[in-house]
Structure 1
Amino acid sequence: MSARTLRGRAAVAGVGETTYFRHGQSPDAEFKLALTAILAACADAGIDAREIDGFSSYSDDRNDPTRLAAALGLPRLRTSLMQWGGGGGGCCAAVANGAAAIATGQAECVVVYRALAQGQFGRFGQTGGIDTISGEKAYLMPYGVLSPPQRFAMRVQRYLHDHGIGHEAMRAIAMASYHHAQANPRAVMHGKPLDEARYDASRWIVEPFRLFDCCMENDGAAAIVLVDAERARDFPHKPVYLLGAASGSGPRFGTHAHNSVHYASANFGTVAPDLYAMAGIGPADVGVVQSYENFTGGVLMALVEHGFFAPEEGNEFLTLENLLAPTGRLPLNTSGGNLAECYMHGFELVLEAVRQVRGTSTSQAARSDVALVIGGPMVSPVSNLLLGSEAVL
């Protein structure tokens, strides 16, 4: 094994989260939500919070590690990490950054976290910062392209057209998330099933996205505890090891006029090969996937770019039965994902991947020794993560 790898160097010892609320409905401040999730993760790991000596997050999380350290009574803070850019595309990179700090001796116990309270700070998905226009917005705002659904719809529409993929494929992705949420009492959409008729009757947001193709907006927080892999057996739960991680972008993806070389793309063309190379496994070894759904079309492209099927096979592969746990060909978003569990900026997907490897998911996949997390399709940079059991090392 090359020394320049994170494979088998760190493990998840604990996971924790708050109650998930509809956007703006949390009774608690965002900082309190972050602390609640962190303390829950520590309790799950069976450790005192004062053992933490590092924090890692992404997308400019407002909950400053120095303040967290003071509130938790940490004797010292050794590392403080933030993944730049990409919004929810950083949810896996934040875990990789924390693992890298542990692997290089910069920390012993890192908490990776994300928290949102939109009643306190304003609606997360609302267009803002348009008093002055520069960069990408200068090419979009004059034509009324204001919101994320509008921007990403163009990439997906092009992809569907180029490969002859029907709306039924995106519908299957949405229905799989909602199906799994019905078994998950934590899910915001628990008790609110989705069927084909309801999906097809839902309003257009912007073609090709209907209402149920778009992620929710929620308040809450989620966190994990990372430790050195050699300590992994010292904790109450089955160890979940980091097998591989990657982050980045393809050529010219961020060009302002939407003229990147691979325009109709989720942006994993160069990232997925790096992930599999580090982990030493391939798509056939993956038993379950948690994919960030900003929009269902991004999931579709991301699954192709991670090697699960060719674009021309999209209609055949993306059926509801293939995406359901326990026995589908590729169980997807088994807690409900961004569409139906909650939108914790994708970090809830990491927690669900841990539960799958532990064997404690509410919709357990038949094959769960290797779980893939895909962060933020169609943004830049994106990131991904492979977690696995000791049997895979």
Structure 2
Amino acid sequence: MTAQALRGVAAVVGVGESAYTRGGTDGVTDVSVALDASTAALADAGLTPGDVDGLVPPYMGATAEELIANLGLTGVRFCAQVNLGGASPVAALGYAASAVAAGLARTVLVPVGWAGYSGRRARALSAAEPTTSYRKAVRGLYAPNGVHSPSQVYAQVARRHQHEFGTPAEALGRVAVNTRAHAVATPNAIMRKPMALADHLASRWIVEPYRLLDCCMDSDAGAAVVVTAADDPRHTGRARAVLDGWADARPSEPLDMYNRADFFETGLTTAAPAAWAMAGVGPSDMDFAQIYDCFTFEVLQQLEEAGFCGRGESGDFVLSGHTDPGGRLPINTHGGLLSQAHALGMNHVVEAVRQLRHEAGPRQVDGARLGVVTGWGDLGDGSIAVLRREGR
């Protein structure tokens, strides 16, 4: 079977989120926010835990066993886990769609949850026992040279881009400002205070070229989606987000970001062309893009590697207004990891579905019918999914 044969076989029929918070709620854990989101996603799909026979648990936090026991899932016959860091949730959509297409499951739940404010934060995870490629690289290669946190790891790629292509700080700032503008219009967003470019440029340094407002936040957040066959009769009476193309990949040198033959190569460099070919569309066809935004530069880099502009052209692309609210390619219309919450990137998928169902309220992209979501993980792992509106 070719990848193109899988085009359009599966759809996201339910989405859900926990409350997105930064403390102030007792008892918040990775498991609790994943459960809240899962319950909401099943309700949104008009389904019950008894309908779920497939599960793609998150790469960190709640385990499959915890989710099965606490949700009361009694018929799970397909279960798979993706380990691509922040690229995992988008890649998990492809796993779920493939399971549905193969008849391995009829209803697949894909949840995530991270108590990243009340529990272990990003810095603590980076310093944890090295069990992933990212942690092994930080512990063995980077930490001896003073590089410990994600901001320090990724900032060096951003600085190299600035050196080679002259990418200005204002381009990073434009990403932050646009993302905040969308968060202001999003009820379930943490950072809803308007931001101007001057605010961004005046924020304190974290590690050059990243200022405070270039960095995503620690938060408590869970998000989940439900995937079924696109023609499942339980859902044909409403609009849904059909999966037309998906792919994930690791970079050619997955253990070290700084010594690749192509310095700016990521998993998305390989995954994006495959997903576009599978979907039969291209970057210029997209009505919006939800781009994984752990830091502002990672948005610029993914725009390039996904084919929205050429290598080194993302600064001009953003500063020309293409990605502004109301531009030809609005980005992160929910506020993203920078301003909505850090739900490990699954909140990007939730927002894409809401945009395609035309349920995004004041931030709705007019007439949206095609959208794309990307994931970024660890040392540049990449994932991408192309979604299409179908139904009423």
Give me the TM-score of the superposition, normalised by structure 1. Answer: 0.91
Task: Name the SS for the 2:80 alignment partner.
Answer: strand
Note closer, same or farther for the CA distance 1:131–1:77 as it changes in structure 2 (3 Å cut): closer
Note closer, same or farther for the CA distance 1:312–1:74 as it changes in structure 2 (3 Å cut): closer
Name the counterpart of 2:228: 227
- Residues 1:35 and 2:35 aligned together: yes
Q: Deviations over 1:225-265 (max 9, x none)?
A: 1111111663664121001111002322x244720122234
Name the counterpart of 2:104: 106
Note closer, same or farther for the CA distance 1:149–1:223 as it changes in structure 2 (3 Å cut): same
Contact persistence 1:115–1:220 (CA under 8 A) = yes
Q: Deviations over 1:262-282 (max 9, x none)?
A: 223444211110110111111
Task: Name the SS for the 2:12 alignment partner.
Answer: strand
CA distance in 2 between partners of 1:318 and 1:156 (Å): 15
Task: Show structure 2 runs of 5+ residues with no match.
Answer: none
Q: Deviations over 1:8-42 (max 9, x none)?
A: 11111110111001168564333222222111111
Task: Name the SS for the 2:11 alignment partner.
Answer: strand
CA distance in 1 between partners of 2:130 and 2:304 (Å): 38
Q: Deviations over 1:50-102 (max 9, x none)?
A: 1011111342x332223322333333111111102x31021211111111111
Name the counterpart of 1:340: 339
Name the counterpart of 1:209: 210
Q: How does 1:140-289 map to 2 (within 5 A)?
A: 140-190=142-192, 192-231=193-232, 234=235, 237-252=238-253, 254-256=254-256, 258-289=258-289
Partner AA of 1:216 in structure 2: M
CA distance in 2 between partners of 1:269 and 1:24 (Å): 40
- Residues 1:54 and 2:54 aligned together: yes
Q: How does 1:313-324 map to 2 (within 5 A)?
A: 313-319=313-319, 321-324=321-324
Mean CA deviation greater in 307-316 or 127-136: 127-136
Deviation at 1:185, TM superposition (A): 1.1
Contact persistence 1:92–1:373 (CA under 8 A) = yes
Mean CA deviation greater in 7-16 or 73-82: 73-82
Q: Deviations over 1:124-156 (max 9, x none)?
A: 343313699965532211111111111111111
Mean CA deviation greater in 44-53 or 309-318: 309-318
Partner AA of 1:37 in structure 2: A
Task: Name the SS for the 1:92 alignment partner.
Answer: helix
RMSD of equivalent CA atoms: 2.4
Partner AA of 1:112 in structure 2: V
Identity of matched residues, %: 35
Deviation at 1:361, TM superposition (A): 1.4
Partner AA of 1:12 in structure 2: V
Q: Deviations over 1:273-319 (max 9, x none)?
A: 01101111111111100001111111101101111122453333213
CA distance in 1 between partners of 2:280 and 2:95 (Å): 20
CA distance in 1 between partners of 2:117 and 2:375 (Å): 25
Mean CA deviation greater in 144-153 or 66-75: 66-75
CA distance in 1 between partners of 2:180 and 2:129 (Å): 34
- Residues 1:92 and 2:93 aligned together: no
Name the counterpart of 2:306: 306
CA distance in 2 between partners of 1:346 and 1:297 (Å): 16
Partner AA of 2:187 in structure 1: P
Name the counterpart of 1:73: 72
Note closer, same or farther for the CA distance 1:177–1:3 as it changes in structure 2 (3 Å cut): closer
Deviation at 1:390, TM superposition (A): 2.5
Contact persistence 2:249–2:383 (CA under 8 A) = yes
Q: Deviations over 1:319-377 (max 9, x none)?
A: 3843233x302100000000001110111000000011111113111352111101016
Q: How does 1:363-374 map to 2 (within 5 A)?
A: 363-374=363-374
Give me the TM-score of the superposition, normalised by structure 2. Answer: 0.91
Partner AA of 2:244 in structure 1: L
CA distance in 1 between partners of 2:130 and 2:42 (Å): 43
Mean CA deviation greater in 173-182 or 301-310: 301-310
Note closer, same or farther for the CA distance 1:43–1:223 as it changes in structure 2 (3 Å cut): same
Q: Deviations over 1:201-227 (max 9, x none)?
A: 101111111111111111121111111
Task: Name the SS for the 1:231 alignment partner.
Answer: coil
Q: Residue 122 of structure 2 is aligned with which of 112, 119, 124?
A: 124
Q: Deviations over 1:160-180 (max 9, x none)?
A: 211121111111111111000
CA distance in 2 between partners of 1:71 and 1:131 (Å): 29
Partner AA of 2:92 in structure 1: A
